[in-house]
A and B are shown apart, each in its own frame.
Chain A
Amino acid sequence: MTSARFPLLIGVFVLATALVFLALGPVQAAGTGYIFVSTEKGNEVVVFDQDMNLVKRIETSRRPRDIYFNADKTLLYVACGDDDAIDVIDVATLEVIDTIPTGPSPEVFAFSPDEKLIYVSNEEDSRLEAIDMETRVSIQDVPTGAEPEGVLVMPDGKTAYVTSEVADMVHVVDTATGAVTKNILVGTRPRRFILTPDGSELWVSCELSSEIYIIDTATNEIKGDSLIFVPPGFREEDVTPVGMAITRDGSKVLLSLGRANHVAVIDAKSYEVLDYVLVGRRAWSVDLSRDESKAYVANGLSDDVTIVDMATLKPIKSVPVGRVPHSVVIDD
């Protein structure tokens, strides 16, 4: 009797697991489901499960900011500004297993498509450097305007973009030579990028002029007028946009509005705002879950993360995280 029942149970379990995996994502195997948040003043990456229960606080080098997974999501890289290093966390064990030295005060970074290089903005010495992941040697060191921040490498790996917060411009870098091939003047204090899935539009958030500039990546010219999103009851100058996320189909952009304490959900084709979602204070980094049912917003002044239901565009809840949350990524 028992011997007949057990295989059946196991069979049901396997089937159920497979269904869950299918539901989560057909292309990649599902990860841990964990949500990772870097806290600039907590010197840790805080890990939550899908229900936002605390899993672990991983101590990192000082001032962890931008965080990214490698392509297969086995490793999490953390730029740590005050220790001039990028920490590497093993996603399976949730331990820091390695540290890559960088120039002074790394803030934001991006990988080359083959993951052989990390492009990192060093805000204290105004450079974009490319670090060879294997040898740990800086192979390119591109001078930028003061306080470089957002970094984006095109999918073909030939061009990198970096913002300078002080110089109000986007530098276009030829990755083969490390030379700046163009400077694109944008609004005041440009911060971050997103690239539309078809690679045609590069969106730049300009924190202090409250604008989004869209760069046509084919010509590296500004496309149309800058966009401004002001939630009801706010003034333009209250809006300090920083973080962005885009859905995989390229239909919607989520834009954090900083001091306006909202996230704008934008139709990426018509540039019309669909809704404003109230989140925490000084909302910055935004990430979407893989099934795009939830968005996670790091609030730097209220030290919490707000989870937004993407179907209803309503905040579900805000969860305290630690001192000055900077970036959120999800391993699902």
Chain B
Amino acid sequence: MTKLRAVHKSRSLLAGLLPLAASLLWSGAVISAEVSVGYLGLTDDPRYLADVTYARIELNPAGDPVSAAKMGLADLEMVTAAVDKTLSLDHRTAADAAGLVAAVKEMAAAGEQFIILDLPAPLTDEVASATRDLGVTLINGTAPDDFLRNRCHPNLLHAAASDRMEADALVQYLRTRNWTKVLMLVGPETRDKEMAAAFRLSAERQRINLVDEREFTLLADPANRDANNTLLITGGVDYDLVYVADSQGEFARYLPYSTQLPRPVIGSTGLVASEWHWGLERYGAPQVSSRFAEFTPDRRMTGQDWSVWMAAKAIATAYAKARSDEPAKIDAYLRGNRLKLDGSKGVQMNFRPWDGQMRMPVVLTTHNSVIAIAPLEGYLHQNNTLDTLGTDEPEHKCQ
């Protein structure tokens, strides 16, 4: 069998060269238009520092997701070739807001129409504000912060799931299980408070009872023991589970099995909401994860990788299917409801017109499996069930 297999492979390799050469010749018959797609990251992005990623939780990027953008363009290479376009990624980084804004201006001057941003939310906000008149559409790939969605930058779309979408996914799960009493633990970081705020809104919408909210600290001194001791901070009150908002992950990772009551932990550890998990088995997801492994052999595909991949796919799809070479029409296609993106989560996805957020299912995962995919069965919506996740149109306000 092994021997037979070896023969099979070597012969097939030779046989493969002929049609490959033929197809190259065939596609070379027409001159391709070169299209450059921008990708802008932060030099020495603190989110990717090794000491942070060492203690990383699922909410944080495990590494620079630029390879996911390359994969998105490669996945659709044949589609864009069919309309005689060749897309390539222009990957740049800058160290601060001024540098990032300058980079966007250069990219726009070079004719780039779409730029994927891999930046923390405050920088994304600054860059979008400063470049809104350039006629360039920015796609936020890795910043989940809700305030960015409420800023209503007309030049900014979001392929990353928002905090609120992830909170809604978790809360839908609690609601269907009837786990309605939640102890909320929040860290000192801004991101911790943002995540907690999203969870609070979500709990309110679905009538989940937050029995108490407590702020934890990593300071180990005895004077802070009410806030640093896992038994004390989870004691004195009854609850079905603990929700922890901890963007750094240092507290959350030691919380499961350390609570006063024998209850599950969700949020930043335990059951975690994300755009993606390598354990997803359906909808062609294993093939996506294996292709990602070819681009990035040293780690598994994360939610941030998925979002960046989808941003690239959205751009390539717009160039291929807009049936126009006019930038305005390509942009309109990208933002419109004719866009039906496949993100290997079993449903079609596109961008919400009111806040530029990509509609998507959110996976609820443990460290090694997908427990559920939201929207959960039974959640209905008058327009699109995916809009049960995140800020819906009637409650959306520009701020």
Contacts and interface: CB of A to CB of B under 8 A. Distances in A.
Interface in B315-369: 317, 320-321, 340-342, 346-348
A259 interface: yes
A188 B18 CA distance: 29
Interface residues of A, number: 44
Given A145-B78, A178-B22, A179-B23, A209 B8 contact: no
Contacts of B384: 235, 237
Interface stretch (A4-12, A22-30, A111-119, A164-172): A164-172
Contacts of A140: 15, 19
B284 interface: yes
A188 B313 CA distance: 12
Interface string A134-155: 0011111111111100000000
A124 B287 contact: yes
B12 A141 contact: yes
A124 B290 contact: yes
Contacts of B5: 84, 101
Contacts of B287: 105, 123-124, 146-147
B341 A139 contact: no
Given A137-B7, A146-B291, A166-B76, A179 B284 contact: no
Contact of A141 (B7, B15, B342): B15
Contacts of B12: 103, 129, 137-138, 141
Contact of A185 (B11, B79, B341): B79
B8 to A, nearest CB: 5
A323 B172 CA distance: 27
B348 A188 contact: yes
Nearest to B81: A183
A294 interface: no
B16 A143 contact: yes
Contacts of A165: 284, 342
Given A101-B1, A188-B340, A143 B20 contact: yes
B378 to A, nearest CB: 14
Nearest to A184: B82
A141 B7 CA distance: 14
B84 to A, nearest CB: 11
A146 B79 contact: no
Interface of B, secondary structure class, is helix
Contact of B347 (A129, A167, A169, A237): A237
Interface string B255-291: 0000000000000000000000000000010010011
A108 to B, nearest CB: 13
Nearest to B8: A101
B82 A169 contact: yes
Contacts of B26: 179-181
Contacts of B342: 165-166, 168, 188-189, 208
B19 A180 contact: yes
B348 to A, nearest CB: 5
Contacts of A169: 78-79, 82
B237 interface: no
A40 B20 CA distance: 32
B75 A167 contact: yes
B22 A136 contact: no
Interface in B59-91: 75-79, 81-82
Contacts of B346: 240, 259
Contacts of A185: 79, 82, 320-321
B16 A183 contact: no
Nearest to A41: B281
B220 interface: no
B19 A136 contact: no
Nearest to A165: B284
Contact of B340 (A139, A167, A179, A208): A208
| Highest count of chain A CB atoms <10 Å: which of B13, B76, B317 | B76
Nearest to A140: B15
B257 to A, nearest CB: 31
B347 A208 contact: yes
A302 to B, nearest CB: 13
| Highest count of chain A CB atoms <10 Å: which of B26, B78, B317, B384 | B78
Contacts of B317: 168
Nearest to B317: A168
A311 B340 CA distance: 36
A143 B75 contact: no
A209 B76 contact: no
Nearest to A99: B1
Contact of B8 (A138, A142, A240): A138
| Highest count of chain A CB atoms <10 Å: which of B18, B79, B348 | B348
Contact of B78 (A141, A167, A177): A167
Nearest to A138: B12
Contacts of B77: 167
B110 interface: no
B31 interface: no
A311 B395 CA distance: 50
A192 interface: no
Contacts of A99: 1
11 contacts: A99-B1, A127-B16, A138-B12, A139-B11, A141-B19, A146-B287, A147-B287, A177-B18, A179-B19, A187-B340, A188-B340
Given A178-B22, A183-B81, 12 more contacts: A140-B15, A141-B12, A141-B16, A143-B23, A166-B75, A166-B76, A167-B75, A180-B26, A188-B348, A235-B384, A237-B384, A259-B347
